[in-house]
Amino acid sequence: MKRYIIAGLLGVSVLSSCVKNPNLTEEAYLSKPDAAKSWAQGLRRQLALTMNGIVVNVEIASDNYFNNYTQYSKVFDVPQMDYTDVDVNNIQLLVQRLRAAAEYGMNTILPGDASATATDRALIIFSRAYAHILSGELFVALPASTNGVALTPQEHYAKALEFLDEALAVETDAVKKTAYTVLKARVYYNLGDAANAEKFALEAAASKDMLFNVAFDGQNAVSNEMQTAVFTSLPNRLAPLPRLDFLDPKYSDNGVPATEQRPVAIVKAEEARLILAEVQVSASRLAEARTTLKNLLSEVVNARPYTLLDDSRETRNGGNRNDYPLVAVQVKFDAADSLRSNYVINRKGGTMRSYTVSATRVTAAEIDAAATQDALLYLVYRLRQEIFFAEGRRMTDLGIKMPVSQTEQLNNRNITDAHIKPQIPAFIPVNRGMDDFTYDKTAGVVTITYDMNKVMVQNKSAKEIFPFIN
């Protein structure tokens, strides 16, 4: 069968042998100048689509956000992830499309285009690496080819390292080279390889402002879905856990969402310092870890920009739950915690800060006061949660992974019963417990039911979490 190309709104996005466009055959496309350039542009679009499918759903599946409306998954908050779930299948499709498009770009587009630039080559190779990272972080297993054997997360990480090295070899932009180096540290982190995670985190740690984003285009049907969910739509569809209220919304607009679509970070300088700190804490190098964490605050997080935002139209009342506070109240992270201020923002009090890259309420004094390994581990994971908030990272830190979808199982004889079961650690509260809280309106106190960072430290020997402890 003759092969045809599907043209995307931001460029060529995916290869298909099923949908025929008589105006654009594979042969005609490959013979055109700048094929690699347009393919790289299409991969940027596919990256945006992939992040749209991942970020909203992964945030719901964690303790970061509660789906307070009728949109999006109704069961990820439980958390429940069935292999028959359409959202599980859609996320798998997005990751696989990214991988397949990048693979085609590497194997077919680049060899046939002598004019391909280093920038386009690196982007295509990086996209393949990133698809493997997502496969390993989000799924219990996933094939890396049509009807292929389901690779373990460890096997996907090995492939990611291979392609990150290839991308680094051709990349000329210093910021992107640092980003790819941090991603190597992340992969070794996921593998539990403390020595290599530390090595590559140290290589990248000199950067204090590196930021590698995925961009969106509201004028061409690729809006930031997380921005829609937490700001643009009314009522806002997702509500943050009250102790994270000060971080919401990370993405917003000034009234013209089509032209004001905010990017989502794939990797940023903060991650290198966080990986270093976790290596140090896990090895009981506590003094080093405190220095690393305090430098993270002073040199990186505190220097990140913020915007002033009028969020007075926010009601937090999407329909599923209507008791989210809209005025400044005190918060207890769980019933045993002391009262804390400045976590819930007064939405009716004028402009507020919107932290567009990173923010945290962890202080240098708290870091200095953390005298034990467990106390510092707790702060590392609080920092990870707050710094990576609304970026689709928290589900992985919680040790949750999705199963292979039923669609894949029905078409691929390599998928076994073990592959269609999600990974949900035993310490994860069920029945939407991660998102639960009580609000004493008279006293002005919100009490979170579970402090999941404390729960994780209490279960630090669980095989699904804390890669350098186990």
Give the pLDDT confidence of 162-200 residue by residue, as tens digits: 999 999 999 999 999 999 999 999 999 999 999 999 999
How is residue 82 written in tokens? 């069935």
- Is residue 469 a part of any domain in this protein? no
Residue 20 has a pLDDT of 44
Place of tokens 């919680």: 398
- Is residue 402 a part of any domain in this protein? yes
Residues 85 and 13 in one domain: no
Residues 20 and 74 in one domain: no
Residues 294 and 318 in one domain: yes
Which amino acid is residue 409, in one-letter code? Q
Residues 248 and 163 in one domain: yes
How is residue 89 written in tokens? 């299948």
- Is residue 464 a part of any domain in this protein? no
Residues 18 and 51 in one domain: no
pTM listed for this prediction: 0.94
Residues 10 and 127 in one domain: no
Please determine, for residue 19, whether its predicted confidence score (pLDDT) is greater than 70.
no
Residues 14 and 157 in one domain: no
- Is residue 389 a part of any domain in this protein? yes
Specify whether the CB–CB gap between 16 and 6 falls below 8 A.
yes
Over residues 119-163, the pLDDT tens digits come to 999 999 999 999 999 999 999 999 999 999 999 999 999 999 999
Residues 154 and 186 in one domain: yes
- Is residue 193 a part of any domain in this protein? yes
Instruction: Using alpha carbons only, give the angle 127, 133, 138 rounded to the nearest 5 degrees.
Output: 125
Residues 228 and 159 in one domain: yes
Residues 345 and 408 in one domain: yes
The domain that contains 216 carries what CATH number? Answer: 1.25.40
- Is residue 15 a part of any domain in this protein? yes
Number of domains in the chain: 2
Domain boundaries, position 20: 1-32
Over residues 437-466, the pLDDT tens digits come to 999 999 999 999 999 999 999 999 999 999
- Is residue 375 a part of any domain in this protein? yes
Give the chain's mean pLDDT.
Answer: 92
Specify whether the CB–CB gap between 101 and 5 falls below 8 A.
no
Residues 230 and 310 in one domain: yes
Which carries the bigger pLDDT value, residue 241 or residue 257? Answer: 241
Please determine, for residue 10, whether its predicted confidence score (pLDDT) is greater than 50.
no
- Is residue 468 a part of any domain in this protein? no
Residues 160 and 131 in one domain: yes
Please determine, for residue 410, whether its predicted confidence score (pLDDT) is greater than 70.
yes
Over residues 277-302, the pLDDT tens digits come to 999 999 999 999 999 999 999 999 99
Question: What percentage of the chain carries pLDDT values higher than 70?
Answer: 93
